[in-house]
Structure 1
Amino acid sequence: MESPAGRAPTPGALPYYVAFSQLLGLTVVAVTGAWLGVYRGGIAWESALQFNVHPLCMIIGLVFLQGDALLVYRVFRNEAKRTTKVLHGVLHVFAFVIALVGLVAVFDYHRKKGSADLYSLHSWCGILVFVLFLAQWLVGFSFFLFPGASFSLRSRYRPQHVFFGAAIFLLSVGTALLGLKEALLFQLGKLGPSRNQINSPVP
């Protein structure tokens, strides 16, 4: 079947791939929440459980919502370009705000406990990813949403924007996995030969 003039054809299997990606993303968020609730004691801001806000916010912001933002141009390829740009940017804003809450939570938790910040590979990778994410959004906003950038400049930068967007997303996933592994190692170190401290938060 011919697509309307000027519009890109939509692959027949795309809706199934998108539905699977959403199911997978929501499952990751739900499993993270269940892990924090059942095995980490839950989530709270004004207690030792404040640390648990960090992994949940990072998974929601820099993995689920950032992934959805990258899918916008595939899912809504036949919508008005301005609409997809705005939706792409807004999803990244939500991802940034939620990730920022996660960062504030872990830094505030360390401050209250008197612990050092940025003491692990995960923490340095996390800061790098967050700074790259923010820089990517600001540059993208300046080039594609803020009026004033020339068409030729946008065309030259677009491939770099797409590449760095995908790279930052993959770095986010890798950093999240690194953080979960770090949490597991902390927990195993605290448990030692006994297993009676399973609900204590990560230091």
Structure 2
Amino acid sequence: MIGRLPLDEQLDALRAVLSRNDVLTQVLARTATLGLPGWYLTAGCLFQTVWNVVTDRPPGQGIKDYDVFYFDDRDLSWEAEDAVIKAGREVFAGLPAEVEIRNEARVHLWYETKFGVPCPPYASSEAAIDSFAATTCCLGVRLEGDGRWRVYAPHGLSDVFNLVVRPNPVLAPRAVYEAKSARWHARWPELTVLDWP
């Protein structure tokens, strides 16, 4: 079982599994051309690809979108972020998936309106990934200039490979965790969903 392997072998397995999702590898390669500061491909497209492969489903099945985070606190205007989003539309044109690009330096400006709780300003893309509703989601991957994969996984990879959804009560409200985990469990009934503490 991959989730019981040493971490270095889990990293190799993660790359092998994610590489089976052709859309994901295209998003990684194309995002690398945008030159975004502190960027990661993150969230559902990563752990859901793993869940699909581990449960013998097609790698990209059921993946709604591909999330790209970057961090640029030099200009917090919507116009600056929108310019990046528009550049991304051109770069991702022709891909059979929606790619959402977000500047994590701006999240605190809109988070409370959307989720009902305030969000302190993030200091990095990693800090934003740390605040996902489930620790299983706290995962980011990017391509470095030398083609090497940089993986950010503050809670490790065992839960991802072992199909465990664990709450992360750092920021997101309980209702967000419960709604997301119920949706995931309906699609991947093999998941073990742990209760909110």
**Larger helix proportion, structure 1 or 2?**
1
Q: TM-score with structure 2 length normalisation?
A: 0.27
**Larger strand proportion, structure 1 or 2?**
2
Q: Larger C-alpha radius of gyration, 1 or 2?
A: 1
